[in-house]
Amino acid sequence: MNKKLLIRKTHRYIGLLVSLQLLAWTLGGIWFTWNDIDDIHGDYLRNFDIPEVSQPSLSTSEALQNIADLDQLKSLQVTHFLQKPAYRISYKSKDNKDKNIYIDGTTGKTLPSVSEQQAIDEAKVNAKFEAPVSQVELITETSKHHEYRGKALPVWAVSFDYPESPTFYISNQHGRLSSVRHTSWRIFDFFWMLHTMDYEGRDDFGNWLIKIFSVIALITAISGIVLFIISSRRRIKKVR
């Protein structure tokens, strides 16, 4: 095989590889531009008309008095737990451990982790639709490919039997909605993975794979132009 033929074949197959990735980028770009980002986030599935939670009737000093092993207060935040007023308290205990607890803003009692039924009830409150629950799962760990990655755990995953198979993620610690995932988001996530070429965590846009591929794509484009010019000159010479 002569060198010219080898160069042409190499360029052809590299060009095919580059074209496949360009196709993936194009399809992803079409999906991104034709779908509203708020819909991707699942906003149309969420109920945003939930009444505001009232302020705790219990004073901060009364809330702190209920912590028997409190040694040093780190932070105190007014929040809510399952649509009820509460305090989120971070402190160092007498046995030198860092702790985070939720105190009922009315009774002063330490609130336990969210139960399965409480998670279901909270998911239904946050859902804009009515549908039966198809699955409930307590997630304690996730991989880099999980749709609920890089967020606080443990969390309850409450899935509904509804178009686009929505899953509402409810924190096991404070009972608030953390994320909504559905079919459109999952398709978006797949195309985003192809777009960034980060097949581990999705969000590293500066990984070595995309850098190397970008250089290959540039070389392929330049070599294609060079081959076109060379071929054009030969044709002109033949005509003459």
pLDDT at 52: 82
- 121 and 85: one domain? no
In a domain, 44, yes or no: no
Q: How far apart are CA 57 and CA 103, in angstroms?
A: 12
User: How many other C-beta atoms are found inside a 10 Å radius of the C-beta of residue 95?
Assistant: 8
In a domain, 220, yes or no: yes
Q: The tokens 């803003």 sit on which residue?
A: 105
- 58 and 98: one domain? yes
- 59 and 12: one domain? no
Range of the domain at 154: 113-181
Q: How far apart are CA 63 and CA 69, in angstroms?
A: 13
- Backbone angles phi and psi of 136, in degrees to 5: -135, 130
Structure tokens at 137: 């799962």
CATH code of the domain in which 77 resides:
3.10.450.40
Q: Nearest-CA neighbor of 136 among 119, 148, 151? A: 119
Question: pLDDT of 196-239, one tens digit each?
Answer: 888 777 777 777 877 887 787 787 777 777 777 776 766 666 55
pTM: 0.79
The number of domains in the chain is 3
Question: pLDDT of 145-159, one tens digit each?
Answer: 889 988 889 999 999
pLDDT at 42: 94
CATH code of the domain in which 127 resides:
3.10.450
Q: Return the half-sphere exposure (C-beta side, CA atoms, 13 A cut-off) of residue 74.
A: 12
- How is residue 144 annotated by DSSP? T
Question: pLDDT of 82-116, one tens digit each?
Answer: 888 999 999 999 999 998 999 999 999 999 999 99
12-17: average pLDDT: 75
Q: Which of 112, 140, 159 is the last residue of a domain?
A: 112
- How is residue 98 annotated by DSSP? E
Q: Which secondary structure element, helix H or strand E, spans residue 57, and what is its range?
A: none
- 174 and 135: one domain? yes
Q: Do the bridges between strand 84-93 and strand 133-139 make them parallel or antiparallel, or are there none, so unpaired?
A: unpaired
pLDDT at 213: 77
